[in-house]
Amino acid sequence: MRVLHVIPSVGPLRGGPSSVIRSLACGLSEQGIEVHICTTDDNGPERSDVPLGRPRIENGATVFYFPRQFRLYTVSLPLARWLMRNVHHYDLVHIHAVFSFASTIAAFCARARRVPYLIRPLGVLNAWGLRNRRAALKQLSLRLVEKLMFASAACVHFTSEQERQEALKAGVSAPSVVIPNPFSPLPTALSKGEFRNAHPAINNRRIILFLSRLDRKKGLELLLEAFACLRRGEACLVIAGDGEHAYKQHLRATAERLGLADEICWTGFLNGSAKAAALADADVFVLPSYSENFGNAVVEALIAGVPVIISDQVAIHAELSSCEAALVVPCEAAAISSALGHLLSSPELAGRLRDRGPAAARELFSLESVAGKLLESYRKILRSSSGEEAAQIKSGATPARTA
């Protein structure tokens, strides 16, 4: 089976979707699938230093990078031309993201060549996502572009039941499957002390870690307000991530206004061994998002054995709460502050979460399990597609596939 994955970016600065696609490629390759990825050299405000237009082997997959020509919608005409010429060579197309040039052109080419495709919308169909960041443009695009994309899709791939229910409210009622993101083993062994040594200003204070993109949907203003309510000098808030320059300046100004300038360590984007070091030294991980269709950083913290606090808008909150692997709070500064204080003052509670987190993550989000579920979904789609082709041939119509 040859499967083409199309995603606007796999740049590290784009966060979770980039790491997930690499894990999926590895897991699906181990299941015997020939995996190809079509993407751009986008890396947030930067460009990835990669060969363009030539195949490159990464994580068991063949990756084709094309130049990003405009940041808005990650437009790449060379990517479009490649898809038009090559999409019919694949049995199936797996599209990651919507409201994107790459996604739109991939769906168009797949429909034109009668190649079945499925869409993973990456959580942007929930109420928060549709109300924020170019909301009017999204609503227009949803009616004029994405509506046809979803109507023609063989399946929509959601990563949580909450994401599926929110998409239904947005009017997406196509056939669907819920398959979570897999966790990726940390690239290096956890070694305590390295992060503290690299950031001596932390001193001996407890570390409250935020490890994600700096984005308004992540609830960082709530976290700053919650942290300001804690007793000063006992903990240091580490904000590890990158984002738009204007938003970073806004966060720093907010911290200054709250009197937190000396209580926060801003590390910028962390990856690889630096991320592993931060998780090794963290006493608490917090993600108070207003909207989160999955929460890859949450799973990384669980695997690392870090006690986790998440909002009830992180889509996997119900699963983690049911196995008592995380503290779940509403998107309110007072609730976040209370949970932080409780966890930092209760070694017994912290110990229970450290023990339960890794086991819960492995049980719910193992790569082998996720890849196996995806493979079964692919097979069902292809069986259904073959049945439709047979019916068309019997009736004298044009077969559904040209490859």
Note the helical H segments in 206-346. Answer: 220-228, 245-257, 272-281, 296-303, 317-322, 333-344
Q: What is the mean pLDDT of residues 135-161?
A: 91
DSSP code, position 116: -
Find where tokens 């001996």 sit.
204
Domains of the chain: 2-182+366-395 (3.40.50.2000), 194-365 (3.40.50.2000)
Q: Which residues pair with 85 in a beta bridge?
A: none
Q: Which residues pair with 243 in a beta bridge?
A: 214
Q: What is the pLDDT of residues 91-132, one digit of tens each?
A: 999 999 999 999 999 999 999 999 999 999 998 888 887 887
- C-alpha distances in Å from residue 158, one per residue of 100, 166, 167, 286, 317: 17, 10, 9, 24, 15
Determine what percent of the chain is predicted with pLDDT higher than 70. Answer: 95
* CA distance linking residue 317 with residue 387, whole number of Å: 39
156 CB-near residues (< 8 Å, 6+ apart): 118, 119, 120, 121, 150, 164, 167, 172, 174, 175, 176, 177
Q: Please answer whether residues 241 and 264 qualify as being in contact, where contact means their C-beta atoms are separated by less than 8 angstroms.
A: no
Structure token pair of residue 60: 């068991």
* CA distance linking residue 214 with residue 135, whole number of Å: 19
* CA distance linking residue 117 with residue 264, whole number of Å: 45
The side-by-side arrangement of strands in the sheet containing 327-329 is 264-266, 235-240, 206-211, 284-287, 308-311, 327-329
CA torsion sign for 235, 240, 246, 249 is: positive
* CA distance linking residue 248 with residue 242, whole number of Å: 8
Q: What is the pLDDT of residues 277-303, one digit of tens each?
A: 999 999 999 999 998 888 889 999 999
Q: What is the mean pLDDT of the chain?
A: 91
pTM for this predicted structure: 0.82
Determine what percent of the chain is predicted with pLDDT higher than 90. Answer: 76
Q: Residue 93 burial (CB < 10 Å; 0-12/13-18/19+)?
A: buried
Q: What is the DSSP string of 40-99?
A: ESEETTEE----SSSEEEETTEEEEEE---BTGGGB-HHHHHHHHHHGGG-SEEEEE-SS
Q: What is the pLDDT of residues 204-253, one digit of tens each?
A: 999 999 999 999 999 999 999 999 999 778 899 999 999 999 999 999 99
Q: What is the pLDDT of residues 322-364, one digit of tens each?
A: 999 999 999 999 999 999 999 999 999 999 999 999 999 999 9
Per-residue confidence at 386, pLDDT binned at 50, 70, 90?
confident
Q: Residue 51 burial (CB < 10 Å; 0-12/13-18/19+)?
A: exposed
Q: Please answer whether residues 302 and 324 qualify as being in contact, where contact means their C-beta atoms are separated by less than 8 angstroms.
A: no
Q: What is the pLDDT of residue 389?
A: 54
Is beta strand 206-211 parallel, antiparallel or unpaired with respect to 42-43? unpaired
User: Shortest CA distance to 388 belongs to which of 375, 397, 379?
Assistant: 397
User: Shortest CA distance to 128 belongs to which of 212, 44, 209, 215?
Assistant: 215
Return the SS3 of 114. coil
Q: What is the pLDDT of residue 390?
A: 47
